[in-house]
Amino acid sequence: MRTSRTSRTSLRARLTALLTGGAVVGALLAVATTAHAADTPLRDLAAAKGKVIGTAVTGSKLTGTYGDIAGAQFNSLTPGNAMKWQTVEPTRGTYNWAEADQIVAFAQAHNQQVRGHTLVWHSQNPSWLTNGTWTSAQLSALLQDHISTEVTRYKGKLAAWDVVNEPFNEDGTYRSTLWYNGLGSDYIAQALTWAHAADPSAKLYINDYNVEGVNAKSTALYDLVKSLKARGVPIDGVGLQAHLILGQVPATLQQNIQRFADLGVDVAVTELDIRMQLPSDSAKLTQQAADYKAVFDACVAVSRCHGVTVWGFTDSDSWIPDVFSGYGAATPYDENYVPKPAYYAIAGSLGGTTTPPPTGACTAAYSVQSQWNTGFTGQVRIACSGAALSSWKVSWTYGAGQRITQAWNADCTQSGAAVTCANASYNGTVPNGGSVTFGFNASWSGSNPVPTVTLG
């Protein structure tokens, strides 16, 4: 629905390692598991229930841990911004498909569906369109051309499209937009018809927010879908965005999903996040877990509920803090890719493991292997027992001017006194009961004091 934020700071789990003389001294470090121990991936749990579990993604971030989780845990991707009109046609007749193509290619490589988002919306349109003066005929031609061009480009590659996004006001009246004002309410039927002509195999949805429970807005959407069905307009489903507030999952959510299903259309929860007033604490995280479970339970209970997409799986890629001042922590993973109680609540709703791995199940030991008057050789051993890792990163800050000069079995960088070492391409996985090590040479002069180590 909205733009995403840039990634934030890394997890900080601190401890002291004693590094003196040439002694070999180890320090155990708490590790955040990104592979979730031996847990069955969410996508496999969802598939076993006949459901889809998706996430909105930012194409440029589909590498490293972000890419690993997006590929391993979800069987559907929604481009957060890459398929919106402003992105794909910023100048009339000049197209930019780079990020959208990247996301589709990633999904194909990871055996995932793609949900197109979105073709017709009042927001994030290019200035040439919104600032133009158009007759109804011109506006209709522009919209048809846009829909036909984009849907045809991805014909056969996308499972579904959010064709029309947010057409209603809160009271159930039509929102005053470029499209409604210029074309009337039938722009919705026209858009669906044009999208179907461009790709008859794609499922076509109308998507909106604050329509999760039974209310005036969702009833207006219900009446519209019923009317479109009666007219023979191609409409396959409704999307309930579900940008929810902590403790406010509508009591009528399952009832509402069911009444749409009874019209003969699919229902998808398309943009789920559950925001809380910051800072988060254990009580809020517990309530958030219960809320996520309630949403997934409602979908699992209705056969025509296609699945649930979270609007970004990590807080580092969430739009909430930039739009709702003082609110955040809305996704199932924290900013450092550590699964929250909400992650395990989702897994539990889908029939999987409901408890997190034990604290300290993965640890790391930092040791000095040898030391001489100008330098030393160090090693870090990362081991897991009762959990596993799909990637790892170790950071520390030197206190006496030490400089890493060479590293092996890790990608290490140093900026000033700060050192960060991440797994190489071949040794990111640390299985339950297994370990990996990496080493480095470094210089020192005069002393080799204790660094503060961060692992996450």
**Closest C-alpha to 342, from 306, 314, 303:** 314
Cα atoms in the Cβ-side hemisphere of radius 13 Å centred on 199: 22
Sheet holding 418-423, edge to edge: 410-415, 418-423, 393-397, 452-455
- DSSP codes of every residue in 385-418: SS--BS--EEEEE-SS--EEEEEESEEEEEETTE
- Using an 8 Å Cβ cutoff, are 445 and 13 in contact? no
Say how far apart CA 199 and CA 154 lie, in whole Å.
Answer: 8
* 283 membership: H or E segment, kind and range: helix 282-301
Q: pLDDT digit of tens for each residue in the chain (456 aa)?
A: 444 433 333 333 322 222 223 333 334 443 444 444 447 999 999 999 999 999 999 999 999 889 999 999 999 999 999 999 999 999 999 999 999 999 999 999 999 999 999 999 999 999 999 999 999 999 999 999 999 999 999 999 999 999 999 999 999 999 999 999 999 999 999 999 999 999 999 999 999 999 999 999 999 999 999 999 999 999 999 999 999 999 999 999 999 999 999 999 999 999 999 999 999 999 999 999 999 999 999 999 999 999 999 999 999 999 999 999 999 999 999 988 889 999 999 999 999 977 776 767 788 888 889 999 999 999 988 888 877 777 788 888 898 899 999 999 999 999 999 998 988 888 888 888 889 999 999 999 888 887 877 766
Angle at 173 between CA 232 and CA 262, to 5 degrees: 45
> Which pLDDT value is given to residue 359?
67
- Using an 8 Å Cβ cutoff, are 52 and 306 in contact? yes
The single-letter code of the amino acid at 153 is R
Active-site residue flag, 271: yes
Say how far apart CA 226 and CA 213 lie, in whole Å.
Answer: 17
Say how far apart CA 92 and CA 141 lie, in whole Å.
Answer: 13
Largest CA distance in the chain: 85
List phi, psi (to 5°) of 384: -130, 140
Strands 403-408 and 452-455: unpaired
Residue indicated by tokens 């503060």: 452
**Closest C-alpha to 165, from 193, 187, 139:** 187
Angle at 97 between CA 92 and CA 103, to 5 degrees: 150
Q: Is 0.85 topped by the overall pTM?
A: no
For the chain, how are helix, strand and coil distributed in percent, rounded to 5? Answer: 30, 30, 40
Cα atoms in the Cβ-side hemisphere of radius 13 Å centred on 335: 16
Q: In this structure, is the dihedral angle defined by the CA atoms of residues 37, 43, 48 and 51, taken in order, positive or negative?
A: positive
> Which pLDDT value is given to residue 368?
87
Written as six digits, the tokens of 442 are: 């470094």
Angle at 322 between CA 123 and CA 177, to 5 degrees: 15
List phi, psi (to 5°) of 115: -105, 115
Long-range contacts (CB closer than 8 Å, 24 or more residues apart) made by 141-147: 143/179, 143/183, 143/187, 143/190, 143/191, 143/194, 144/190, 144/194, 146/85, 146/89, 146/119, 147/119, 147/120, 147/191, 147/194, 147/195, 147/198
Say how far apart CA 163 and CA 147 lie, in whole Å.
Answer: 9
- Using an 8 Å Cβ cutoff, are 168 and 206 in contact? no
Burial of 451 (0-12, 13-18, 19+ CB in 10 A): buried
- Output the CA–CA distances (angstroms, integers) from residue 141 to 184, 205, 306, in the order listed: 14, 21, 32
